[in-house]
Structures are given as C-alpha cells and as structure tokens.
Structure 1
Amino acid sequence: IPEFGDRVVMPCTHGKTREEAIHKGEEVIEMYLEAWLAEGESIPEPSTLQIA
C-alpha cells in the first residue's frame, strides 16, 4: 500500500492467491482509515501506479 509507506511499518499484504492478498489489503486500508479518522489524522492522498 504505497500511500501508507511513511506512516505504517510494513505497508504490504500477502495471501495464497492474488485475490486473497487484495482482500486482506482492503481490510488493512479500512482499519487504518477508520483509526486515522477517529484520531483526527489526515488521510494520505491515493496515488496512481503506472503500468508499463
């Protein structure tokens, strides 16, 4: 999760399949966003990755 790189120790996820890793990543994103909002912290702006 590139946007979390400077705010989270390990901004990554994994799974047995790509779909599982994506699902886990979505759960992590939701968890951090909820916590940051509750604490009044700013939310990182989403970035766009260029695929070659």
Structure 2
Amino acid sequence: MKYTIVIQWSNEDNCFVVLLPDFKNEMQPITHGETYEEALKNGQEVLELIMEEYQEDGKTLPQPKTFIFA
C-alpha cells in the first residue's frame, strides 16, 4: 500500500516536520528532521513501524487517500 507523507518546514521548531494524513489516530506530526531528506527517511521508518504495529494488533490498515489534481 502507498501512503502519503507530508513534509513541511516549521519556523517554530526550526526543522522539517512529518505528517501522515492517512493515520489520523496517530499523534501528528509524527517525526521531524533537520533536512528534508532526514525528515523523509524518519517518516518512512515511522510509517513502517506503524504498519507493523497495526498488523501485530490485528487492526485493519486505513485505505490510502487518493489525491486528484485538476
């Protein structure tokens, strides 16, 4: 499954913060990084951990949202 990872600069935190909009029940933002690349890597790692946790707990993974650009 493919999930969306949103990375935004935070002036307040002085770093890139990572959001997983498909996982509304998880604390948002879920991680961060000093660089965009670090934030993406951290976001991917957290996404994998969340997916593993869902599977171990027998929870159904949410359906990935589809974005349509006109």
Count of aligned residue pairs for this structure pair: 51
Unaligned runs of 5+ residues in structure 1 are none
1:27 pairs with 2:42: no
Q: Which has the larger radius of gyration?
A: 2
Could you tell which deviates more after superposition, 40-49 or 15-24? 40-49
Task: Give the TM-score of the pair, scaled to structure 2.
Answer: 0.60
Root mean square deviation, CA, Å: 2.0
Answer 1 or 2: which has greater strand percent: 2
Answer 1 or 2: which has greater helix percent: 1
Shift of 1:24: 0.4
| Greater RCO, CA 8 A, separation 6+ | 1
Task: Give the TM-score of the pair, scaled to structure 1.
Answer: 0.78
Shift of 1:44: 1.1
Shift of 1:10: 2.2
The percent identity for this pair of structures is 38
Shift of 1:49: 4.2
Q: Closer, same or farther in 2 for the Cα pair 1:16/1:50, shift >3 Å?
A: farther
Unaligned runs of 5+ residues in structure 2 are 1-19
Q: 1:12 & 1:40 partners in 2: Cα distance?
A: 22
1:16 pairs with 2:34: yes
